[in-house]
């Protein structure tokens, strides 16, 4: 029983990362109709930034947790203004070329300076140790990640469903042209929303630094699963991306624990789930078929 | 209030409007009739600023709005009632109503909307797309009235509605007109059109073929119906 609880807990923790990344991809896709293949690179930059801040300037984890998301969010906004916004009128292929190209540039810039080996990042002292929930001891830091990510998802959900800004973002995401016809300057919201999505990726990166190896390719490894998550949840669906994020974290953890005799299955289970979901619901679990413009 | 001069529009290579000129005076209700594909909806989209391939003049209160984006035109008092009713699935009924900012001198309050449409009040927290087609049409009209729009652009508001609901739409448009609201209406239902409108333009192959008043439409109803293929 305690083994199951442990697997479930670990699944939820990886799910928290998937959820944060998929949430950012979902709001960006919803508002811009751009699939941001560079999302993993910003996650990596978040982790690397925290590492560099600590080792070269002595900036602690807690400060990095604020500095990196804000800084990367601003960088994202600048990139949106400089290049991303040009994608709206172009063939989707350019979307892939630009954002994937950005990924390679960002990764290689980091490689150039720091090489490809992984760097350790110490768990902040306040969160070291374990918490006992009766069944067994959970690492405090992982408990923190899970709680923090859930809180953040709830906060985003609250803003989206309970505030006027959220209402405008939902309307603009669902039907951009129609929303313009109702007097709302949809374009004004595009840059901040892109920056917000990138900021979330950066935040996930900082959170990952103490528990995952910090290296230039850490985002590239993760982002493939995150794209499966986004597709399973329904491209552009905010709720779907979060639910599928945690769900896929669980499926992966349970698969690794209980299907370890079938490595072919346990290693590809995410994509098996994705294929089954798409056969059953082509728009994803919570996605809608595109409405006519 | 609205003046369109030599308006042409294209979808890619295909020209759908050819040098259309027409005027709608303040307080008037004017319909556009014509066969499917005559360019009626495109004309409305051009006025709203939602169609990109166009040339010609669109003036609102003597001001050239041809270069303004749709959201700026809406803030000048244009109310958009799209042919698919424009209900948001991710917004509740109340949110659908309160999404547009108030733009005109005489916007309806939410209370007044709900008094006039008790069906919307009872479903106020549901997703708008869960409403019936008729309720969604009322929602679309109520939304631009709450906005306080001075010129309503309505694309076939009676399409697919029961006779009772068609009458309700008519009552609503007449009431809006009494309060000085101007309406440009795409309509296939000639009986409905003569009941609410002052004048009519017949569009054919992207051109204004004829301008008619109510008595002319009534006297030629059979000929027009045959032409429209209804």
From CA B187, how far away is CA B157, in angstroms rounded?
8
Q: How many CB pairs under 8 A join A and B?
A: 68
Mean pLDDT within A144-168:
93
**A131-143: burial string, b at 16+ Cβ within 10 Å, e else:** eeeeeeebbbbbb
Contacts for B31 with CB less than 8 Å, ≥ 6 apart: B184, B185, B186, B187, B193, B197, B199, B200, B201
Residue A121 placed within a domain = no
Percent of chain B with pLDDT over 70: 100
Residue A26 placed within a domain = yes
Chain-centre distance for alpha carbon A21: 0
Residue A292 placed within a domain = no
The pTM of the full predicted model, rounded to 2 decimals, is 0.84
Predicted local confidence at residue B78, as pLDDT: 96
Predicted local confidence at residue B37, as pLDDT: 85
Residue B201 placed within a domain = yes
Whether B101 sits inside 8 A of A179 (CB atoms) is: no
Mean pLDDT within A167-189:
92
B47 near A CB under 8 A: no
B88 near A CB under 8 A: yes
Residue B119 placed within a domain = no
Whether A182 sits inside 8 A of B100 (CB atoms) is: yes
Quick one: tokens of A29? 């896709």
Is the pLDDT assigned to residue A132 strictly greater than 90? no
Predicted local confidence at residue A140, as pLDDT: 92
CA distance B191 to chain A (A): 29
ipTM of this predicted complex?
Answer: 0.92
Predicted local confidence at residue A291, as pLDDT: 46
Residue B103 placed within a domain = no
Report which listed range, A29-33, A260-264, B59-63, is most confident.
Answer: B59-63
CA distance A170 to chain B (A): 6
Predicted local confidence at residue A293, as pLDDT: 38
In the structure, what pLDDT confidence band is assigned to residue B197 with cuts at 50, 70 and 90? very high
Binding-site residues on chain A for chain B (CB distance < 8 A):
167-168, 170-171, 173-175, 177-186, 288, 291-292
Domain coverage including residue B162:
2-83+149-228
For chain A, the average pLDDT equals 91
Q: What angle do CA B19, B22, B28 make, to 5 degrees?
A: 160
Predicted local confidence at residue A225, as pLDDT: 93
From CA B212, how far away is CA A221, in angstroms rounded?
68
Predicted local confidence at residue A264, as pLDDT: 85
pLDDT in tens, B204-230: 989 999 999 998 988 898 888 888 876
Q: What angle do CA B80, B102, A196 make, to 5 degrees?
A: 85
From CA A76, how far away is CA A70, in angstroms rounded?
10
In the structure, what pLDDT confidence band is assigned to residue A238 with cuts at 50, 70 and 90? confident
Predicted local confidence at residue B88, as pLDDT: 95
Residue A6 placed within a domain = yes
Q: Which of A181, A237, A293 is the best mutation test for B, with the most CBs of B within 10 A?
A: A181
Cβ(A260)–Cβ(A266) below 8 Å: yes
Whether A181 sits inside 8 A of B50 (CB atoms) is: yes
In the structure, what pLDDT confidence band is assigned to residue B73 with cuts at 50, 70 and 90? very high
Is the pLDDT assigned to residue A74 strictly greater than 70? yes
Question: What is the CATH classification number for the domain harbouring B184?
Answer: 3.40.50.300
From CA A144, how far away is CA A165, in angstroms rounded?
29
In the structure, what pLDDT confidence band is assigned to residue A292 with cuts at 50, 70 and 90? very low
End-to-end CA distance of chain B: 32
Residue A137 placed within a domain = yes
Predicted local confidence at residue A266, as pLDDT: 82
Among A67-71, A212-216, B67-71, the least confident range: A212-216
B45 near A CB under 8 A: no
pLDDT in tens, B15-43: 999 999 999 999 999 999 998 888 999 99
B91 near A CB under 8 A: yes
In the structure, what pLDDT confidence band is assigned to residue B106 with cuts at 50, 70 and 90? confident
Percent of chain B with pLDDT over 90: 82
pLDDT in tens, B137-160: 999 999 999 999 999 999 999 998
Q: Report the residue from A168, A173, A182 with minimal CB separation from B74.
A: A182
B108 near A CB under 8 A: no
Q: Tell me how many domains chain B contains.
A: 1
Mean pLDDT within B200-207:
92
Residue B162 placed within a domain = yes
> To which H or E segment does residue A193 belong?
helix A186-208
CA distance A113 to chain B (A): 46
Residue A293 placed within a domain = no
Question: What is the CATH classification number for the domain harbouring A233?
Answer: 1.10.3470
Percent of chain A with pLDDT over 70: 98
Q: What beta strand segments (E) does A69-197 contain?
A: 130-132, 137-139
Domain coverage including residue A260:
2-116+126-280
Whether A181 sits inside 8 A of B70 (CB atoms) is: yes
Quick one: tokens of B88? 């948001």
Is the pLDDT assigned to residue A146 strictly greater than 70? yes
Hey, which residues does B153 pair with through a beta bridge? B80, B184
Is the pLDDT assigned to residue A290 strictly greater than 60? no
All residues of chain B having their beta carbon less than 8 Å from the beta carbon of residue A163 are: none
Mean pLDDT within A38-65:
95
For chain B, the average pLDDT equals 93
Q: Tell me how many domains chain A contains.
A: 1
B143 near A CB under 8 A: yes
Predicted local confidence at residue B230, as pLDDT: 64
């Amino acid at each position: 029983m305690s083994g199951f609880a442990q697997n479930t807990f670990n699944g939820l923790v990886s799910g928290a990362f998937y959820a944060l990344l998929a949430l950012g991809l979902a709001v960006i896709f919803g508002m811009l109709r751009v699939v941001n293949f560079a999302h993993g690179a910003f996650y990596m930059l978040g982790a690397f930034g925290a590492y560099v801040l600590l080792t070269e300037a002595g900036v602690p984890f807690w400060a990095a947790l604020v500095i990196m998301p804000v800084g990367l969010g601003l960088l994202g906004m600048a990139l949106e203004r400089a290049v991303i916004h040009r994608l709206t009128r172009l063939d989707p292929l350019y979307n892939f070329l630009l954002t994937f190209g950005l990924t390679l540039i960002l990764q290689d810039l980091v490689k150039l300076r720091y090489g490809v080996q992984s760097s350790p990042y110490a768990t902040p002292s306040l969160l070291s140790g374990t918490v006992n929930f009766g069944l067994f001891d959970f690492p405090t830091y992982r408990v923190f990640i899970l709680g923090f990510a859930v809180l953040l998802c709830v906060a985003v959900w609250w803003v989206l469903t309970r505030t006027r800004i959220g209402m405008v973002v939902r309307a603009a995401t669902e039907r951009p042209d129609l929303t313009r016809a109702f007097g709302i300057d949809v374009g004004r919201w595009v840059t901040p929303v892109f920056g917000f999505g990138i900021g979330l990726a950066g935040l996930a990166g900082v959170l990952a630094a103490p528990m995952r190896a910090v290296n230039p390719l850490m985002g590239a490894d993760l982002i493939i699963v995150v794209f499966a998550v986004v597709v399973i949840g329904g491209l552009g669906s905010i709720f779907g991306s979060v639910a599928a994020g945690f769900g896929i974290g669980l499926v992966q953890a349970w698969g690794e624990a209980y299907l370890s005799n079938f490595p072919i299955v346990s290693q590809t289970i995410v994509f098996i789930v994705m294929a089954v979901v798409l056969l059953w619901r082509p728009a994803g679990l919570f996605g809608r078929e595109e409405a006519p413009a | 209030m609205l003046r369109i001069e030599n308006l042409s529009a294209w979808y890619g290579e295909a020209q759908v409007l050819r040098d259309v000129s027409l005027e709608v005076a303040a307080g008037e209700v004017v319909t556009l009739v014509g066969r499917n594909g005559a360019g009626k909806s495109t004309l409305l989209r051009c006025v709203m600023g939602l169609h990109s391939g166009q040339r010609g003049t669109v003036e609102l209160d003597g001001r050239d709005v041809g270069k303004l984006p749709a959201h700026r035109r809406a803030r000048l008092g244009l109310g958009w009632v799209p042919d698919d009713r424009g209900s948001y699935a991710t917004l509740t009924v109340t949110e659908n109503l309160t999404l547009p900012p108030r733009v005109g001198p005489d916007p309806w309050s939410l209370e007044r909307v709900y008094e006039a449409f008790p069906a919307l009040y009872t479903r106020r927290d549901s997703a708008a797309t869960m409403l019936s087609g008729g309720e969604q049409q009322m929602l679309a009209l109520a939304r631009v009235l709450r906005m306080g729009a001075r010129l309503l652009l309505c694309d076939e508001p009676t399409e697919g509605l029961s006779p009772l609901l068609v009458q309700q739409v008519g009552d609503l448009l007449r009431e809006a007109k009494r309060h000085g609201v101007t309406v440009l209406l795409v309509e296939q239902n000639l009986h409905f059109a003569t009941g609410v409108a002052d004048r009519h333009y017949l569009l054919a192959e992207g051109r204004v073929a004829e301008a008619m008043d109510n008595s002319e439409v009534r006297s030629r109803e059979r000929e027009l119906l045959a032409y429209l293929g209804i």
